[in-house]
Chains A and B, each alone.
Chain A
């Protein structure tokens, strides 16, 4: 079974509107971290936002926020006020393991969502 599922291969959004990119995950570890990365066409992966499994509040970083629903095992990325520069591939990733000891910090990535922002 896939550990990270991104069900939207491609998404379109109008400039200045908000968009939600879906991510569901599967783990039996009580301790894990969820990450979102952006990959423009240039290829470099850029970290956007992080949510820890024990965090009480949803993470926010500027125009990015994470809608974390632990019981549903979902960690959707919300981008507010979309800009043309937001057009890129977006990956959701998870790092599991109690206290960082197991798996040595390995992350499992979803298949990604290609976001296109229309002017």
Chain B
């Protein structure tokens, strides 16, 4: 089945120790997103790739970076995790068709729960 895969599902890192979360998709979607979600809150968009174009949200801390080496993979790098970065990180994909009025749903991965000690 086509899907969005996130690894690892659970990640424990130390304060200040860089960590990378990964996301892969078999849907061949052109847009990939990274969200941060804290308990019982709405997902907060950190950034997204529209094809190869990187789009950062204005309030995303510099501590968060992303890479998309190809259509299928996208990585979230947290350079120096703080205690406040402990959260669920959700990767999502979508088709976005330029020049059309079509709006397609997002497909989400199962998330990576990050703990910072």
Instruction: Please report A residues at the B interface, Cβ cutoff 8 Å.
Output: 31-33, 35, 37, 42-47, 50, 52, 54, 89, 91, 95, 99-101, 104-107, 109-112, 114
Contacts and interface: CB of A to CB of B under 8 A. Distances in A.
A101 B101 contact: no
A111 B50 contact: no
A51 to B, nearest CB: 9
Contacts of B33: 106
A47 B97 contact: no
Given A44-B109, A45-B90, A50-B103, A104 B40 contact: no
Nearest to A9: B40
B92 interface: yes
Contacts, number: 79
B98 A44 contact: no
The main secondary structure of chain B at its interface with chain A is: loop
A104 B98 CA distance: 9
A45 B103 contact: no
A112 B37 CA distance: 12
A102 to B, nearest CB: 10
B31 interface: yes
Interface of B: 31, 33, 40-43, 45, 48, 50, 53, 55, 88, 90, 92, 94, 96-111, 113
Given A44-B111, A109-B43, A104 B31 contact: yes
A113 to B, nearest CB: 11
A52 B21 CA distance: 33
Contacts of A111: 41-42
Nearest to B92: A45
A101 B103 CA distance: 11
A110 B33 CA distance: 17
A43 B42 contact: no
A37 B43 CA distance: 11
Given A45-B43, A45-B92, A100 B110 contact: no
A111 to B, nearest CB: 5
Nearest to A42: B110
A26 to B, nearest CB: 15
B113 to A, nearest CB: 7
